Amino acid sequence: MGNGPLSRFTVLDLTRVRSGPAAVRQFADWGANVIKIEEPGQAPDDKPGGSAQFADYQNTHRNKQSITLNLKHPEGRALFLDLVRKADVVVENYRPSVKFKLGIDYESLRKINPRIVYGSVSGFGQDGPYVDRPGLDQIAQGISGMMSVTGEPGRGPMRAGIPVADLTAGLFCAIGLLVALLEREASGEGQWVQTSLLQSQLWMMDFQAMRWLMNGEVPGQSGNDHPTSSPTGVFPTQDGYMNIAAMGNDIFARLCRVLDLTPLLDDERFRTVPLRAKNRPALNAAIAERTRTRKTDEWIALMNREGVPCGPILSMDQVFEDPQVQHLRMRQPIRHPKLGTISVVGQPVIMSRTALGELGPAPETGEHNRTVYETLLGLEPARIEALAREGVI
């Protein structure tokens, strides 16, 4: 904590569960002074039993300090405002109305610190017809169209296997906050950065959304096959399955040579990209008949030699044993005071001059009360103890 390219920024973290913490994690990992503010005596949903040893919690809230503060108590709110005076960023993912009830909305905070950059992540936005609805990842996946294009045809809608709306909303919030901090260097003023699970998930729909917006085409489910390109999908091998992505005529020709299926190149059904997509079942069957004859690793070696995009399909226990994953250092160690050395998921960004510093463990609730209240606000130890007795912190 306190080192790295963002060490000059202090972030007050009011977030919980995943979308907001995904935004704050970007600041914490790159060295910002992140202060996680938690309600005294409460066990958050993302910290079962109040224990920060929960694996997901360690990954999500690493590199932070934790203080307790009752924002519903007048003195607790006053302490929060004192923190805001010294902070650069506040991030919250309450339901939109909560921050106004607490009196910690952007307009209230900018009156005491015009430079504050305020980030809000919600389910559906800060206003509009859905503003009061509870918003969760899977709900956003459904409304955005994501579930309508995920899964096998005829099997009904399917959610993604990760909380993609939560995570992308967090990333977009982090991007917006960084943009606002850059803009502040010119204007001297902060601003309110807003995003939502629904907006972020719609952005992620990308070319599937454009098929409708530009072409009037309603995308459907295509299972493991690419929606518009063939052969691109999952194929059986002698010992499991593999991915093959033979987009375009040149790569398709290479694939046919590797599989010893060159007659397919003269087959009228497969001469062009649109025809291969149209006749996908027959093409997939012909390829699968050949891929079943060798093991996955053998096919990968042959196809990589010929420049055909392909790869194995790994379970999580295999992923972090993959040599490229290890090379990219996507498994990062953390020294935990109770658990010893544990591993978390690393940052996917590499910079030429700035290295990712050593990661620290997620804090226990209120672990840094004395440190933060003494050093940042100048409170005496006796005063801190009194505030704890009174239920303020």
Q: What is the 3-state secondary structure (H, E, C) of the chain?
A: CCCCCCCCCEEEECCCCCHHHHHHHHHHHCCCEEEEEECCCCCCCCCHHHCCCCHHHHHHCCCCEEEECCCCCHHHHHHHHHHHHCCCEEEECCCCCHHHHHCCCHHHHHCCCCCCEEEEEECCCCCCCCCCCCCCHHHHHHHCCHHHCCCCCCCCCCCCCCCHHHHHHHHHHHHHHHHHHHHHHHHCCCCEEEEEHHHHHHHHHHHHHHHHHHHCCCCCCCCCCCCCCCCEEEEEECCEEEEEECCHHHHHHHHHHHCCCHHHHHCHHHCCHHHHHHCHHHHHHHHHHHHCCCCHHHHHHHHHHCCCCEEECCCHHHHCCCHHHHHCCCEEEEEECCCEEEEEECCCCCCCCCCCCCCCCCCCCCCCHHHHHHHCCCCCHHHHHHHHHCCCC
- At residue 336, φ and ψ (nearest 5 deg) are -100, 135
pLDDT for 160: 97
pLDDT for 143: 98
Domain end position, chosen among 265, 285, 312: 312
Domain end position, chosen among 260, 282, 312: 312
Q: What is the pLDDT of residues 209-249, one digit of tens each?
A: 999 999 999 999 999 999 989 999 999 999 999 999 999 99
pLDDT reading at 50 higher than 90: no
Mean residue pLDDT across the chain = 95
Residue 228 lies in a domain: no
CATH number at residue 303: 3.30.1540.10
Residue 320 lies in a domain: no
Return the number of other C-beta atoms located less than 10 Å from residue 302's C-beta. 15
Question: Stretch 125-139: mean pLDDT, rounded?
Answer: 96
- Give yes or no: residues 308 and 334 share one domain: no
- Give yes or no: residues 38 and 166 share one domain: yes
Range of the domain at 305: 241-312
- Give yes or no: residues 69 and 193 share one domain: yes
Cα dist from 211 to 206, 216, 306, whole Å: 9, 6, 32
- Give yes or no: residues 70 and 153 share one domain: yes
Q: What is the pLDDT of residues 253-310, one digit of tens each?
A: 999 999 999 999 999 999 999 999 999 999 999 999 999 999 999 999 999 999 999 9
Question: Stretch 170-174: mean pLDDT, rounded?
Answer: 98
First-to-final CA distance of the chain: 22
- Give yes or no: residues 45 and 164 share one domain: yes
pLDDT reading at 36 higher than 80: yes
pLDDT reading at 364 higher than 70: yes
- The total domain count for the chain is 2
Q: How confident is the model at residue 59 (pLDDT cuts 50, 70, 90)?
A: very high
pLDDT reading at 1 higher than 60: no
pLDDT for 289: 98
- At residue 236, φ and ψ (nearest 5 deg) are -75, 145
- Give yes or no: residues 277 and 339 share one domain: no
Tell me which amino acid residue 135 is: G
Q: What is the pLDDT of residues 2-33, one digit of tens each?
A: 579 999 999 999 999 999 999 999 999 999 99
Residue 213 lies in a domain: no
pLDDT for 54: 84
Q: What is the pLDDT of residues 37-48, one digit of tens each?
A: 999 986 555 666
Return the number of other C-beta atoms located less than 10 Å from residue 75's C-beta. 14
- Give yes or no: residues 128 and 188 share one domain: yes
Cis peptide before 231 (omega within 30 of 0): yes
pLDDT for 43: 59
Burial of 292 by CB count in 10 Å (0-12 exposed, 13-18 middle, 19+ buried)?
Answer: exposed
pLDDT for 156: 96
pLDDT for 385: 96
Residue 169 lies in a domain: yes
Which residue is it, tokens 């045809």?
Answer: 153
Residue 50 lies in a domain: yes
CATH number at residue 123: 3.40.50.10540
- Give yes or no: residues 124 and 40 share one domain: yes
pLDDT for 3: 76
Q: What is the Cα 351 distance to its own chain's centre? A: 19
- Give yes or no: residues 347 and 284 share one domain: no
Euclidean distance between CA atoms 319 and 145, whole angstroms: 29
Residue 335 lies in a domain: yes
- Give yes or no: residues 334 and 271 share one domain: no
Domain end position, chosen among 256, 284, 312: 312
- Give yes or no: residues 181 and 261 share one domain: no
Q: What is the pLDDT of residues 329-363, one digit of tens each?
A: 999 999 999 999 999 999 999 999 999 989 999 99
Residue 232 lies in a domain: no
Residue 156 lies in a domain: yes
Tell me which amino acid residue 15 is: T
Q: What is the pLDDT of residues 180-201, one digit of tens each?
A: 999 999 999 999 999 999 999 9
- Give yes or no: residues 43 and 121 share one domain: yes
pTM, two decimals, is: 0.93
Active site residues: 166
